[in-house]
Amino acid sequence: MIPQKSQALRFKEFGKPLEVLSLEELEVPEPGPGEVLIKLIASPIIPADFGSILGNYGKLKELPATAGAMGIGEVVQVGDSENPIEVGQWVRIPEEIGVWQEFCFVKANELRVLPKGLDGQSACIAALNPPTAIRLLEDFASLKSGDWVIQNAGNSNVGIAIIQYAQTMGLKTVNLVRREELVQPLLDLGADTVVVEESFNPREIEAITKGGRPKLAINSVGGHSGLKILNALGPGGTHVTIGAMTFEPVRFPTRQLIFEDIKLCGFWLMNWQHQHSPEEVKALDDQVYSLIGDGTFKFPVAANYPLSEYKKALTHASEPRFGTVLFTAN
């Protein structure tokens, strides 16, 4: 039964999510020719969501807007018999329309249909973190089996994806975390070494790795944390920034740049997608879904919330935890 009204999390101005978001009721329209109606299955609450609502993300929505950058839904109605999308198929909900709504209608030719049989809680994360992990490990350093990679935020979704994909390449990972209780869960997922950041000394990296120094450092945090993993790199290593959780700049490391030929760069998946052909983007998507299907990529979930409990969900997503907080269908 398709209702006449749909709940949606909307904002009319940029600001703190709990202050500017409100739960609104929207009409559920009949899909027209070439359109489909989608019911939300799951959407992860990710740092990009907070940045987009705050107004400091790389790509901002026109206001007023429905929040939510990433998620999947089930097609529940199609607009005409010529539609290539079928009722019951799972699809990726386009970010532009806003994912945090119970029902939405979309043009069928804008949709990416998911393979059958995927775990929904992992599939809803597939659009961002796993492809980011693949590109980071394949594009920024000449890595071979046995090489070391170091990252902070090892318990984030992209950190977990890096741990999992590194195993398929024969790479070893040093993973910094902020709390002792995160060490064993990451070791259970396949991390080679997990260190509480406060106790990490870059000068001791060779003792931690038993002789090797990382060729690649992945920085999601910024500030002193970003500098720590840079100082652990071997000569000629590459430091890639993909986030700035602390909103603190990384100090310019003059000595390492000059005498150790360290390279500093950044990565944003959206730029990569714009710079590559639709066929290359689809091939990366296909690779990700294949790795979700065979269990290589699997992401822990901290909790599921309906949209109506968004204040609890956003608060939970802002707190220390292990696993993703999801919005799911009521």
What residue has token string 């950041």? 197
57 in catalytic set: yes
Task: Enter the tokens of residue 73.
Answer: 């839904």
HSE-up (13 A, CA, CB side) for residue 87 = 7
User: From CA 250, how far away is CA 296, in angstroms rounded?
Assistant: 32
Peptide bond into 64 cis (omega under 30): yes
CB 209 within 8 A of CB 148: yes
CB 326 within 8 A of CB 303: yes
SS3 191: coil
Helices 129-139 and 278-293, packing angle to 10 deg: 110
Task: Enter the tokens of residue 1.
Answer: 């039964």
User: From CA 150, how far away is CA 36, in angstroms rounded?
Assistant: 44
User: From CA 144, how far away is CA 255, in angstroms rounded?
Assistant: 27
Question: Taking the C-alpha atoms of 25, 104, 100 and 119 in order, what is their torsion angle to the nearest 10 degrees?
Answer: 140
Active site residues: 57
